[in-house]
Structure 1
Amino acid sequence: MRRSLLLLLLCTIAFEGICRPCYGYFEDDSARVAQDFVEVQNEARAVVGLPPLQWNTQLANYARWWAAQNAIYGDCRLRHSGGPYGENIFWGNGKDWSPYDAASDWADEKRWYNYWANSCLFYDACGHYTQIVWRDTRYVGCARVTCNDGNIFMTCNYYPPGNYIGQRPY
């Protein structure tokens, strides 16, 4: 009996060491996290005369699910979920990246967007920005996870989705 308990304890410790859980969802302070994700995005929308995005728990749950899936892979690579929503993703290492950092990075892509040509300048990315300011999008939900390797992965999902080819965002 004593040997069985010792073996069970050793297996549990070994398993815990190999499969450390994801952490960093900030579920304990979700209102603050939602505000950090949404504030910058709504500032970008206000500049072009669009109504603010509303936080949506269903979208946040989907984002949390996808962030956890990405963390399970252990590498937190930039992978889109392929789901039914619009989606922005962010990856960072080397510091404790915040929701504000991710949203600011996406919103800063405005400098690369040419409204009249409806394209990004100089082959730079601006699709994160155009999703934020998509005129029909009304709801957003986001999540942040710290992966086993210490990198940060964040994602926001949008409904209705945007970034339709040939259409201007606003």
Structure 2
Amino acid sequence: MAQQPSSFLLPNATGLLPPAEGRAVGLPRGAGVPWSRQKRYLSPHDVGLVLDYHNQVRAQVSPPAANMEYMVWDEQLARAAEAWAARCLWDHGPPQLIKHVGQNLSIQSGRQRSVVDMVRSWHQEKQHYSFPHPHECSPRCPSKCSSSVCSHYTQMVWASSSRLGCALSTCTNIQVWGSTWRHATLLVCNYAIKGNWLGEAPYKVGRPCSACPPAYGGGCSNNMCFTGLRSNQVSWF
């Protein structure tokens, strides 16, 4: 019997993690994935669409964010996403990598949707998420999700997660919760700095750009802390 068109999210993003010192670490070179050049799974056009969609979501959060950082594309994160997506595993990883970066996954089979539609499914978790206001955080903020998962959305809008790298892979066979999916499309997005820290809100509430990190030098664009980079892509090599 033919498989019906399907699309799923992994039940959590990279989880809610306890706060830790030194979170602002760079992605370690090697981090458990091969760094040899591989076929790119996202076209430059799709890269622009995915990145623009993330920034639109980040710019329009409600309540407004005082410290939301403009997101840029990171080639190192994208290469790590390519390497993991190529393994066709319905799980987060590799373990060495996700100690340092956030990660969202989505998968589909049957009728193909655009990559933006796959990302949009993370944003749709917003309808189940209630932002923890400052008076509720004393000192730790409660997790206020009325559904099984909101952590894909909160990772998208985590203020300090300003670098993004994603990849798509077509998997001939992939195990998804005990079933074999054939010719499925797997999307992996990596985020740095890692978000979803237990007891913390995704961002500070306030007038846009009123609490930007000093490194931005007061720069602000479309409600986000902005450095004035001419390009929205970052290359580590």
Q: Compute the TM-score of the two structures, normalised by the length of structure 2.
A: 0.55
Match of 1:44 in 2: 57
Q: How far off is 1:146 after superposition?
A: 1.1
Unaligned runs of 5+ in 2: 1-38, 137-141, 173-181, 204-237
Cα distance change of structure 1 residues 123 and 109 upon mapping to structure 2, 3 Å threshold: closer
Partner residue of 1:7? Answer: none
Q: What letter is aligned with 2:190?
A: N
**Structure-1 separation of matches of 2:199 and 2:76:** 29
1:80 counterpart (92, 95, 101): 92
Give per-residue Cα distances to partners, 1:102-141, cap 9 Å, x unaligned.
2111111111111127434333311001001111111000
Percent identity of equivalent pairs? 32
Aligned mate of 1:156, from 184, 189, 208: 189
CA distance in 2, matches of 1:39, 1:101: 13
More helix by share: 1
Q: Could you tell me whether the CA contact under 8 Å between 2:128 and 2:150 is conserved in 1?
A: yes
Alignment of 1:59 onto 2:59: no
TM score, norm. by length of structure 1: 0.75
- Partner Cα distance (1:169, 1:156) in 2: 18
Match of 1:92, as an amino acid? Q
Say what the alpha-carbon RMSD is for the aligned residues.
1.8
Deviations 1:128-167 (A, max 9, x none): 0100111111100000111112111001000110000000
1:112 equivalent in structure 2:
128
Deviation above 3 Å: which 4+ runs of structure 1?
A: none
* In 2, Cα distance between equivalents of 1:136 and 1:53: 9
* Conservation of the 8 A alpha-carbon contact between 1:97 and 1:152: no
Tell me the CA shift for residue 24 of structure 1: 8.0
**Aligned residue pairs, count:** 139
Give 1:64 shift.
0.4
What is the DSSP-based 3-state SS (H/G/I as helix, E as strand, rest coil) of the residue aligned with 1:87?
A: strand
Moved more, 151-160 or 109-118: 109-118
Partner of 1:130: 154
CA distance in 1, matches of 2:113, 2:190: 18
Q: Are the counterparts in 2 of residues 40 and 107 from structure 1 also a CA contact under 8 Å?
A: no
Structure 1 counterpart of 2:125, one-letter code: E
- 2:210 corresponds in structure 1 to none
Asked whether the 8 Å contact 2:78–2:190 carries over to 1, the reply is yes
Q: Which amino acid aligns with 1:80?
A: H
- Computing the radius of gyration from Cα coordinates, the structure with the larger value is 1
Residue 99 of structure 1, CA deviation:
1.6
Aligned residue for 2:183, secondary structure, equals coil
